[in-house]
A = this chain, B = another copy of it.
Amino acid sequence: MGKEKALNIPVVRKVLEVNERIAEENRRLFDEKRMLVLNLMSSPGAGKTTLLETTIDRLKDRWTIGVIEGDLQTTADAERIACHGVRAVQINTEGGCHLDGNMVRAALDRMDLEGLDLLVIENVGNLVCPAEFELGEHEKVVILSVTEGDDKPAKYPTVFRIAGVLLVNKIDLLPYVKCDVNVIRETSLQVNPDLRILEVSAATGEGIEGWIQWLEDRLARLRRGD
């Protein structure tokens, strides 16, 4: 072992480069099939799956939806999602801390993509590592629960910098926690002035209309071929 060189940094770069190539191939497939693809990221328990359930129930009569669920273990989330009558595939990373382009490609092979309008990829619950790996998605959506506190955009800036949309979730719990949504807005706009910020409660449905409208607009534009 003493004869080996310290190769870790070059190898990490190579992994990211290889991933980007695969992500580009995924993206070409998504564009060819004319589907909108979202990469949903957050800490564990910020409400990704509940938001997804609420979103599916509001959209599924008008749009055909698929979901790729990323988890370290279990098929619990894919089962929850499949109950809502949409196409669902589970990726188990077996301890891996993020999804990558290759895992998504493997999941796409197991999903019927015909006629799909919207594909949501729910990443592993982790506010750090998923931000480094492109999957081929059109938009990154980050969810932050108000129970996590208003210091998170300053402390975990990367994911807020690369996201297109920030959903500030669980606003029904604001009376019970120490969290100022204005601080979340200000600090996340500092790292990403173009970030679209929406306040929601996936559990009660509060504020969900704005999110659904954003999705409807994107889907309608895609159908028109904009």
Chain A residues with a Cβ under 8 A of chain B: 1, 4, 7-8, 11, 14-15, 17, 43-46, 71-74, 76, 95, 97, 124-129, 145, 147-149, 151-152, 154-158, 170, 172-173, 176-178, 203
Contacts and interface: CB of A to CB of B under 8 A. Distances in A.
Given A44-B127, A97-B126, A126-B129, 19 more contacts: A1-B17, A7-B7, A8-B15, A43-B125, A43-B148, A45-B152, A71-B155, A72-B157, A74-B155, A76-B151, A95-B158, A124-B128, A128-B129, A145-B147, A173-B173, A173-B176, A173-B177, A176-B176, A178-B203
Contact of A148 (B45, B157, B178): B45
A126 B124 contact: no
Contacts of A14: 1, 4, 8
B127 A125 contact: yes
Given A7-B11, A11-B7, A71-B155, A147 B43 contact: no
Given A71-B155, A173-B177, A149 B45 contact: yes
A73 to B, nearest CB: 6
A45 B8 CA distance: 31
A46 B203 CA distance: 19
A155 B76 contact: yes
A158 B72 contact: yes
Contacts of A11: 7-8, 11
Contacts of A147: 45, 145, 147, 170, 173
Nearest to A147: B147
A180 to B, nearest CB: 14
B156 A72 contact: yes
6 interchain residue pairs of minimum CB distance: A45-B148, A147-B147, A97-B128, A43-B44, A43-B43, A45-B149
Nearest to A9: B11
Contacts of A74: 151, 154-155
B97 A97 contact: yes
A71 B145 CA distance: 19
Contacts of A8: 11, 14-15
